[in-house]
Amino acid sequence: MLHCVELCCSVLLVRLLNTSMELGLSEKVLRYESFVNDVLKEDLKKVHSRYEELNNEIAEYIQLKNFIQSVPDVGLSSDGLKTKMDLGCNFYIQANISDTSTILVAIGLGHYIEFTMEEALKFVEKRVNLLTLQTEKLKKDSAKTKAMIKLVLGGLHQLQSSSRSSRLK
């Protein structure tokens, strides 16, 4: 897979060289640098940002899974299950849950589904697996982008070193 990325970057470098043959070395260097900074590094930032978002979502689902698994272990009093609920900005209130047989789970876009505890546990496990696959894809995308950056910087280095050697002759 990385070999394919190198090939694509090589084609891109050849195109940059061919289209800018009439340009001087400083213009070529500026094109390479702007490509790395404006395109590749921005792509890398987007990939890392999405990766962090997915990891936060995975952490929330794991926290939900731990809660679901701990509910049967907690003895219910006559008032039900007592817990604290986060209203936002770390502001908590006391909450009493009278029926712990079902749970509402946020599935995205502001929608919630009522699950039994067993169904919710299955949903959470599937969702964590899906998110983990997405993070693995993002890791690969990040590696590809880093490889492209190295390849372009290597081409830039070669371009500069070839111009130095031609000046010395």
pLDDT in tens, 81-111: 788 888 889 899 998 888 888 899 998 899 9
**pTM tops 0.75:** no
Q: Which of 50-54, 61-65, 83-87, 160-164 has the weakest average pLDDT?
A: 160-164
* SS3 annotation, the chain: CHHHHHHHHHHHHHHHHHHCCCCCHHHHHHHHHHHHHHHHHHHHHHHHHHHHHHHHHHHHHHHHHHHHHHCCCCCCECCEEEEEEECCCCCEEEEEECCCCEEEEEEECCEEEEEEHHHHHHHHHHHHHHHHHHHHHHHHHHHHHHHHHHHHHHHHHHHHHHHHHHHHC
Higher pLDDT, 141 or 6: 141
Give residue for tokens 């049967």. Answer: 72
Kindly report the number of other CB atoms within 10 A of residue 120's CB atom: 20
What is the reported pLDDT for 92? 92
* Whether the predicted pLDDT of 137 surpasses 60: yes
What is the reported pLDDT for 1? 44
Instruction: Assign 22 a pLDDT band (cuts: 50, 70, 90).
Output: very low
